[in-house]
Amino acid sequence: MNKTAAVQTIHEQLKHKSYKRSFSSRFWKIIIYAFITAITLTCIIPFIHVISKSISTDAFVVANKVFLIPKGPTLEAYRKVFSDSSILRSLYVSIFVTVAFTVLGMFLTTCMAYALTRPQFKGRRLLTFLCVFTLYFSGGIIPDYLMVSYLGMLDTLWCLILPLSFSAYNLIIMKNAMMASIPLSLEESARIDGAGHFRILAQIFVPLSKPIIATLSLFYAVGRWNAYQDALFYIKQRVDLRPLQLKLYYLVVQANESFQLESTVVSLTNPEVMKAACVVFATLPILLVYPFVQKYFVTGVMIGAVKE
């Protein structure tokens, strides 16, 4: 009887501890899910608000009655956007610059990361230090402008592609990913078979680095698509070379005045409607790219996170 009572007591104690652990686990799960939900809503709600404003009637926007649900739905603002040839021209410029910038940036990053991971490459530590040094110190805006001016790239598409086409931060990520995911013995086997550096890079390192390449390509593309400051400095005379983000910048600046685009005047009761439509118009293209690289994105950002 004493043994039975002792077993029952131990069983009740274990059950009580298990219930406490289960309650604590559920409590923290609720806290974590609530926190993630709040962060998600802070990202989604502003975008929904902008979409609602862009398809609402001017009178409701002026009266500040539009929050998440459109009032008096209309596509007049989008018709104005698509009817303006200068905005469509800026869209084509942004797409071309973003694609060229991403391709060139990934080419430079991949080649340099491969070179810096080769043990036989002398001076790789010095070059790595110089790249990391640029993350903390830079020349500034004025030297950058003088360099672009001396190279004759002002008012050309090259001033939007070449100066920022290499990122030291992305280089460090690519370098660490290659070192963590591709064993040195694989390169040695290829060398025994007579492969050179270019063949090893093209046929071994690039195929095995698809996740991190897709991830960094997304970083390059999003960064270039959202940038407008360099175009503001370097594109002055050639109005036809202004990217879409710079057009949007001028629209925001002139939001409280009459809405005017170079040779086309767009008359709207409330320029905030047109501004919201342009924000959506500029954001959607880059959002459509994400689903195609999503399967590589999680794998890419996790490379090198676990050390074995």
In a domain, 63, yes or no: no
In a domain, 236, yes or no: yes
**Residue 262: its pLDDT value, please?**
46
Residue 305's closest CA among 218, 177, 217, 209?
A: 177
Would you say residue 100 has pLDDT above 90? Answer: yes
C-alpha pair distances (Å), 246 with each of 111, 164, 215, 251:
32, 17, 26, 9
Are residues 121 and 182 located together in one domain of the fold?
yes
Range of the structural domain that residue 208 is part of? 83-302
In a domain, 28, yes or no: yes
For residues 113-118, give the mean pLDDT. 87
Are residues 176 and 40 located together in one domain of the fold?
no
Are residues 45 and 173 located together in one domain of the fold?
no
| Contact status, residue 115 vs residue 124, Cβ threshold 8 Å | yes
In a domain, 114, yes or no: yes
In a domain, 213, yes or no: yes
Distance, CA of 307 to CA of 76 (rounded, Å): 55
Would you say residue 174 has pLDDT above 80? Answer: yes
**Residue tagged 């009817």 (tokens):** 83
> What CATH number is given to the structural domain containing 258?
1.10.3720.10
Are residues 9 and 139 located together in one domain of the fold?
no
**Which of 158-172, 236-250, 294-308 has the highest average model confidence (pLDDT)?**
158-172
Number of domains in the chain: 2
Spell out the alpha helix ranges (H) of the chain.
Answer: 2-54, 58-62, 76-83, 85-116, 124-136, 141-150, 158-161, 168-181, 184-192, 197-200, 206-208, 210-226, 229-234, 244-253, 271-302
Are residues 222 and 163 located together in one domain of the fold?
yes
Are residues 8 and 137 located together in one domain of the fold?
no
Q: Which amino acid is at 193?
A: D
Mean pLDDT score across all residues of the chain = 79
**Residue 35: its pLDDT value, please?**
92
Would you say residue 81 has pLDDT above 80? Answer: no
pLDDT in tens, 223-272: 898 888 888 889 888 888 888 888 877 776 665 555 444 444 444 446 77
Are residues 287 and 244 located together in one domain of the fold?
yes
**Residue tagged 């956007």 (tokens):** 81
| Contact status, residue 93 vs residue 108, Cβ threshold 8 Å | no
Are residues 165 and 104 located together in one domain of the fold?
yes
In a domain, 68, yes or no: no
Distance, CA of 269 to CA of 188 (rounded, Å): 69
* Residue 258 CA neighbour count, 13 Å, CB half: 6
Residue 173's closest CA among 143, 137, 136, 128?
A: 128
Are residues 48 and 114 located together in one domain of the fold?
no
Q: What pTM, to 2 d.p., does this model score? A: 0.75
Would you say residue 276 has pLDDT above 50? Answer: yes
Are residues 41 and 179 located together in one domain of the fold?
no
pLDDT in tens, 197-228: 888 888 888 888 888 888 888 889 888 988 88
H or E element at residue 261:
strand 260-261
Residues with Cβ < 8 Å from 210, sequence gap 6 or more?
A: 296
Would you say residue 291 has pLDDT above 80? Answer: no
Are residues 135 and 282 located together in one domain of the fold?
yes
**Residue 8: its pLDDT value, please?**
59
**Residue 259: its pLDDT value, please?**
45
In a domain, 135, yes or no: yes
Are residues 168 and 298 located together in one domain of the fold?
yes
**Residue 67: its pLDDT value, please?**
81
**Percent of the chain having pLDDT more than 70?**
81
Higher pLDDT, residue 99 or 68: 99
Residue/partner pairs of 36-41 with CB below 8 Å, 24 or more apart: none
In a domain, 67, yes or no: no
Distance, CA of 25 to CA of 97 (rounded, Å): 49
